[in-house]
Structure 1
Amino acid sequence: MARPRKDVKFPHRGINGNGKPRRPSTSMSEISENNSEPGSPTRNGAAPRPATPLVDPQPQSEYEKKKANFITRTIWTLVMIAGFFWSMFAGHIYLIIVVTAVQIISFKEVIAISNVPSRARSLRFTKSLNWYFLGSTMYFLYGESVIYYFKHILLVDRVLLPLATHHRFISFMLYIIGFIFFVISLQKGHYKFQFTQFAWSHIALFLIVGQAHFVINNIFEGMIWFFLPVSMVITNDIFAYLCGITFGRTPLIKISPKKTWEGFLGAWFFTIIWGVSLTSFMIRSSYFICPVNDLGANLWTGLECKPNPVFIAHQYTLPVPLPTWTHLPSTFSIAPVQFHVLALATFASLIAPFGGFFASGLKRTFKIKDFGDSIPGHGGMTDRMDCQFIMGSIAFMYYSSFIAVNNTTVGGVLEMAITGLTPEEQLEVVKILGKHLVNQDVLSPKVRIHSFTFCFCC
């Protein structure tokens, strides 16, 4: 048996056969092969496979990034459009759910702007209070809308009647509970951060939840008052971009350098054309012009109502006859709502964009590009809805002031009878109303209601 030789030195792993240092290998196989020499057999005696060097992926070019973003943006745009139209045609309740989801996501994004994660973690009630104030505010605003539009249902229900008659007091007490809890949760060393969050959450409630409340009221008043302002803002945004890149030269506002006067005014013209055309189509369907009286209605079942006079065409005569060579009539028939469309299109073109300017200034203040990444390719939900919220508020205020018809409703009569009269006086109202219906041959002289028999002829 051969004895091992003494004083035999094996070359160091980092030195090759010529005595020069080896270049470090970037192959992961050399690291994971139990520090074996290249070409040495493995434990099972088989020769290892040659190492395949890892190749770093080439970074995407600017063109490839823009292309990928364009594809993602287009796909999600089509998804949002399809979801929007489905919810609008499926019924008012689905559209209200969509608006509610949009306002919750937008509130979350705006609140997150001023949030400091390290402090929010140490103050565990900060986020909880924000969501509590959101819930209490939504309870108040949604309750106001439901009570206003569905009095005839709520005020005759034994369980819902107390909630309806004392709704504002209940809402106020919910807010007071949150206010007291905020004061109790104040911690030394965090006062500035906590009060900043308190103020910021209330600003978000005013700018987002408050305005979303008017959007929901527009849905209750008739689908046209929701869809028309929304589509006008989208149309204005598209044509402002197209007109701006086509012949825009004069800057409009410093806070948004890409906006131009040419794009601003060109979008105004095309928004009017779109509004007039869309209105001519929508006023033909009762589903779009009727206020909500059945939350189960959809495009196929439709709604029934007495149309608002603004949807009925009238004859108008020009104060000055046109010259005969124009061959144009001096008398024409048009629905008055088309004149209101001119005003709404002007608001959508001249005022609603300032909601976007406000959002741009807010993002520049906090040095962020988007409010979030809720919508792939588009940024945050707030980035898409910044103009829609203010336009929804404008549309509701304009409708309430110049278009709404104030008629006596069953809900209004019930509210006055139930909240302003004693039970004995309410019973007297029923008897008087019954006598009137008997005289009109609508009711029999004797009517049995549950266990009570009313004799209206006595």
Structure 2
Amino acid sequence: MPRQKGVKFQHRSNGTSQSDHHRQNSSTASESSSEPPSPIKDVDPKRNGSVEKSDKHVEPSEYEKKKATFITRTIWTLAMISGFFGAMFAGHIYVLMVITAVLIISFKEVIAIAQVPTKQKNLPLTKSLNWYFFAITMYFVYGESVIYYFKHILLVDKVLLPFATHHRFISFTMYIFGFVFFVASLQKGYYKFQFTQFAWTHMALFLIVIQAHFMMNNVLEGLIWFFLPVSLVVTNDIFAYICGITFGRTQLIKISPKKTVEGFVGAWVCTIFFGFALTNILMRYKYFICPVNDLGANIFTGLQCTPNPVFASRPYNLFGWAGIDRIFRIAPIQFHILIFATFASLIAPFGGFFASGLKRTFKIKDFGDSIPGHGGMTDRMDCQFIMGVFSYMYYQSFIAVYKANVGSVIETAIVGLTVEEQIDVVKGLSKYLYNQGVVSGEVRYSTSNFNVRRD
């Protein structure tokens, strides 16, 4: 069929124009892309020719990030050091408050690792049960310490006496309530999750609360038994870093690749020298070496006691084995500090390695972000807990002085107490016996009227 002239195919014409228009746009885009980017946008005539700057966000450099992190870390380090010394100088009760705050934060960080929010939506009481077990454990360990160190107050008070004498049974009963509630709350389909939470909570209670309980006892036995171990761990960590970056060549343990044998050994030597120096200072002040007998005491009021013999210097012939007759006067605590420094250097770091392995298991960098620039509280306390337990066990085994029989108590009251203090002892015993119904009111009344004769 012959093609008619003058007939226009609209679709071809349109297609051609669209193709030309597309090529024109592509050419324009190509030209635009070939031009260097401009930091300003086009002039908007509606804005009277004003130039609008680009809103593009500029990422900080790696140097600026490290600088900001260093500043934040330094500020919070100084804040923690200031707070620690402030609490220690303010008195024993404030140190116990600091330990309590550390316990709460650390426990919160550790149990958060194993939590699964999607499952906890259907088990709303799981978190409450975790904190219930925490509260019961705190009640038990605090009660044990208070009863042991302040029995002279609790055992003569009619209201507090039942709580003191039945403290362990009360604690066990409250734990059983939590245990029964846990079993009753088990739901099908969530057994594994619930038992995992139960086991994880008890592990956290043991590794954090129970171990910190011994740190509290160290405070009550004398601030030196708390401050000295804490300082040794911190010092060892600092020297391990310094010696590691200076001499480190050989990797120490795979779980913590940055730790080196040279840093490990170098920190041990430096920690021993630091321990000798710090002990020589602390042993001069009764505020640090005396067991607590007044929770209201502080660095200004001080404490009074008969110091433990371990702080009294004695003559030693250190080189007698070599035939050299040279006498040195050394306090026995200086020999004990060798053991403390060695444990802080060679054993306590494994608490940190344990924490590193735990974090790697759950693929997390830090336990939390409660301390800006440092991570979580647990990241800073991983070595301190095990050091606190060792300090208490060593002190009770090799340093503490025990005198617990009727004869020694009477002798101590006669020789070591003033007349006024002896009368206070008699009044306290009579009050206790009266509250128990052992003696009559006449005896209670007669002893309460005891006074020192001034003739």
Q: Per the shorter chain, which TM-score range?
A: 0.7 to 0.9
Deviations 1:56-94 (A, max 9, x none): 222122221111111100010000000000000000000
Q: Which range is displaced more, 339-348 or 312-321?
A: 312-321
TM-score by length of 2: 0.81
8 Å Cα contact 2:110/2:367 also seen in 1: yes
Deviations 1:18-77 (A, max 9, x none): x859989xxxxx9xxxxxx98565xxxxx5563514332221222211111111000100
Unpaired segments ≥5 residues, structure 1: 1-15, 25-29, 31-36, 42-46, 435-445, 454-458
- In 2, the alpha carbon distance for the partners of 1:39 and 1:274 equals 70
8 Å Cα contact 2:212/2:385 also seen in 1: yes
- In 1, the alpha carbon distance for the partners of 2:213 and 2:253 equals 30
What does 1:142-161 correspond to in 2, within 5 Å? 142-161=142-161
> Equivalent residue for 2:88?
88
What is the deviation of 1:122? 2.4
What is the deviation of 1:321? 6.8
What is the deviation of 1:447? 3.7
- In 1, the alpha carbon distance for the partners of 2:49 and 2:294 equals 74
Distance 1:209 1:49, change over 3 A: farther
Deviations 1:174-233 (A, max 9, x none): 111111111122122111111111100000000000110000000000000000000000
1:227 maps to amino acid: F
- In 2, the alpha carbon distance for the partners of 1:448 and 1:222 equals 34
Does 2:439 align with 1:427?
yes
- In 1, the alpha carbon distance for the partners of 2:438 and 2:229 equals 43
What is the deviation of 1:316? 1.0
Deviations 1:255-283 (A, max 9, x none): 11111111111111111101110011101
> Equivalent residue for 1:33?
none
Aligned to 1:284, the other structure's residue is in SS state coil
Does 2:349 align with 1:353?
yes
Does 2:329 align with 1:333?
yes
- In 1, the alpha carbon distance for the partners of 2:284 and 2:80 equals 26
> Equivalent residue for 2:340?
344
What does 1:167-178 correspond to in 2, within 5 Å? 167-178=167-178
- In 2, the alpha carbon distance for the partners of 1:248 and 1:38 equals 61
8 Å Cα contact 2:369/2:376 also seen in 1: yes
- The percentage of counterpart residues that share the same residue type is 65
Aligned to 1:376, the other structure's residue is in SS state coil
> Equivalent residue for 1:368?
364
- In 2, the alpha carbon distance for the partners of 1:424 and 1:374 equals 49
Distance 1:270 1:49, change over 3 A: same
Deviations 1:387-423 (A, max 9, x none): 000000010010010001112389x999xx99x9998
1:58 maps to amino acid: V
1:427 maps to amino acid: V
- In 2, the alpha carbon distance for the partners of 1:49 and 1:93 equals 69
1:362 maps to amino acid: L
1:371 maps to amino acid: F
> Equivalent residue for 1:27?
none
8 Å Cα contact 2:43/2:51 also seen in 1: no
8 Å Cα contact 1:321/1:330 also seen in 2: no
Aligned to 2:121, the other structure's residue is in SS state helix
1:185 maps to amino acid: S
Does 2:129 align with 1:129?
yes
Aligned to 1:146, the other structure's residue is in SS state helix
Aligned to 1:259, the other structure's residue is in SS state strand
What does 1:91-240 correspond to in 2, within 5 Å? 91-240=91-240
More helix by share: 2
Aligned to 1:427, the other structure's residue is in SS state coil
- Backbone CA RMSD of aligned residues: 3.1
> Equivalent residue for 1:280?
280
- In 2, the alpha carbon distance for the partners of 1:290 and 1:117 equals 48
Runs of 4+ residues deviating >3 angstroms: 19-24, 37-41, 47-51, 321-324, 420-428
Distance 1:249 1:187, change over 3 A: same
Aligned to 1:101, the other structure's residue is in SS state helix
> Equivalent residue for 1:407?
403
8 Å Cα contact 1:370/1:379 also seen in 2: yes
Aligned to 1:399, the other structure's residue is in SS state helix
8 Å Cα contact 1:290/1:303 also seen in 2: yes
8 Å Cα contact 2:44/2:51 also seen in 1: no
Does 2:378 align with 1:382?
yes
1:233 maps to amino acid: V
- In 2, the alpha carbon distance for the partners of 1:273 and 1:39 equals 73
- In 1, the alpha carbon distance for the partners of 2:228 and 2:261 equals 24
Deviations 1:117-136 (A, max 9, x none): 22122211011011000000
- In 2, the alpha carbon distance for the partners of 1:74 and 1:120 equals 38
- In 2, the alpha carbon distance for the partners of 1:156 and 1:348 equals 41
8 Å Cα contact 2:87/2:94 also seen in 1: yes
Deviations 1:409-439 (A, max 9, x none): 89x999xx99x999889539x98xx9xxxxx
Unpaired segments ≥5 residues, structure 2: 1-20, 33-40, 411-424, 451-455
TM-score by length of 1: 0.81
Does 2:303 align with 1:303?
yes
Distance 1:40 1:266, change over 3 A: closer
Aligned to 1:293, the other structure's residue is in SS state coil
